Amino acid sequence: MKGRFLPGLALVAVLRVAAAAPLPGEVVTQIGQVAAVPADERKVPGYAGAWRQAAAQAKVIERIEELESRRSKACRDLIVIDTVQAAPDLIETRPRRVHHALERWSVQACGALRHYDVWYSFEASSSQLKVSESSATDFQAELDPPLRRLQELAAARSAEESAGKLRWLNLPLPADSVPVANSAGARGWLADFVPLGDSPREWTQLIGVQGLPRVSSPGQARALLAGMQQARQARCGVPAGPVESLPREGDGASGETVQTYLVCPQVPDTNYAEMAVVKAIEGPDYIYVVQRAWRLPAGDAERLKADSEKPRAAAEVFLAQVHLCNPAGDRQRCPAPYPR
């Protein structure tokens, strides 16, 4: 009797350890805090197709196929229909540093819709990938405190999204983009990306994304871009250009969307010119500022105008795809939602 009782006590102890609470020394990451690495190839729709490497996407598909093959009625006809970032990334700092991430994949399997939880654990010595059907993840979470904590964060995020408090930023970066800077704090967050082979300082092209806290007064985005024009005028000796209004985001909770073109014929103390197209969107949570910039050989205004025509057109095409989505009812317009 005594031998049969002790395992029960051990299980109760494990379940108590996994009771709802933050992990010791945990860091729940904010948008911009973790460097976002764009996918090298899209194999699935949604978040994972935009922000996970092709090898990782393929590994998850392989695990799902494995699980489907074990069913009493094995299914080999699988279509991944969506992938989302289910929760903010979670970093354990004690007893060792482990970075956790949770995604939710929706799969059409022989006519049935199924949802799978995809749990990544990254650490210096070894990393793990675990995939389980969402309906079966709860018991596993009782035994794995990090997964349990990710599920709590996922539930909180789902509630925020359902209430219309969060927005997704669609940021379809070129496949050869690599992150070179990122930060997050009380004054907002930012991230910079350059083509593979460029350096943080000696770049030829740059895509920058930034989120700034909203203020209650209207016109914040327009004032921000007008200030950028004035700064460029003072630095480069060129007249400030116009700030143009664009159609507003369609959910009714966002403010103005504006765009401007910045040009500097010769950056002081260099031999190059810079041009950038900048878009600012007043969301309900942040002012989202996205720019695509180029460096070109310095020259007179007419030569620079000719040299910058193609880069400017490419920047405008890229920024036309940058917009906000309300995940409570409008996910299809954001196939590449920036990690939050």
58 and 136: one domain? yes
d(CA 293, CA 13): 56
Do 316 and 183 sit in the same domain of this protein?
A: yes
CA 11/CA 292 separation, integer angstroms: 55
Residues 126 and 207 in one domain: no
pLDDT digits (tens, 9 = 90+) for 8-49: 434 343 444 445 679 989 999 999 999 999 999 999 999 999
Q: Is residue 336 part of a domain?
A: no
Q: Is residue 199 part of a domain?
A: yes
Residue type, 130: K
pLDDT on residue 183: 95
User: Do 118 and 185 fall into the same domain?
Assistant: no
Mark whether 124 and 240 lie in a shared domain: no
Q: Give the pLDDT score at 138.
A: 65
> Distance from CA of residue 143 to its chain's centroid?
29
Q: From 99, 128, 119, 121, select the one nearest 29 (Cα to Cα).
A: 99
Output the pLDDT for position 216.
81
The mean pLDDT values, 10 residues at a time, for the chain of 340 residues are 42 45 92 94 97 97 96 93 97 92 97 96 91 78 85 95 90 95 95 96 96 91 97 94 88 84 94 96 94 92 84 97 92 94
pLDDT at 38: 96
Same domain, 151 and 187: no
Give domain status of residue 338, yes or no: no
Instruction: Give the integer Cα–Cα distance in Å for 55 and 75.
Output: 23
Number of neighbouring beta carbons within 10 Å of residue 42? 18
Is residue 339 situated within a structural domain?
no
The answer to whether residues 128 and 196 belong to one domain is no
80 forms beta bridges with 107
Cis ω for the linkage preceding 200 (within 30 of 0): no
Last residue of a domain, one of 116, 147, 162: 162
Q: Identify the burial level of 197 via C-beta atoms within 10 angstroms of its C-beta, where 0-12 means exposed, 13-18 middle and 19 or more buried.
A: exposed
Predicted local confidence at residue 26, as pLDDT: 95
Whichever domain contains 187, its CATH number is 3.40.1000
The SS3 of residue 227 is: helix
Beta strands in 48-136 (DSSP E): 78-85, 90-92, 98-109, 112-122, 128-133
Residues whose CB falls within 8 Å of the CB of residue 25, separated by 6 or more in sequence, listed in order: 92, 93, 94
What 8-state DSSP symbol labels residue 135? G
154 lies in the same domain as 26: yes
- Which amino acid belongs to residue 16? R
Helix (H, G, I), strand (E, B) or coil at 16: helix
DSSP symbols for 304-339: HHHHTHHHHHHHHHHHHT--EE-TTT--TT-SSBPP
Of 115, 137, 162, which residue is a domain's last? 162
Tokens coding 150: 């990710």
Q: Are residues 174 and 114 in the same domain?
A: no
Where among 141, 162, 183 does a domain terminate? 162
Number of structural domains in the chain: 2
What was the pLDDT predicted at 7? 41
Whether this prediction's pTM lies above 0.85 is answered by yes
How far is Cα 179 from Cα 339, in angstroms, rounded to an integer? 13
Residue 73: give the domain boundaries: 19-162
Task: For residues 181 and 304, state if they share a domain.
Answer: yes
- In this predicted structure, what is the pLDDT of residue 15? 41
Q: CA-CA distances (angstroms) from residue 74 to 67, 71, 191?
A: 9, 5, 44
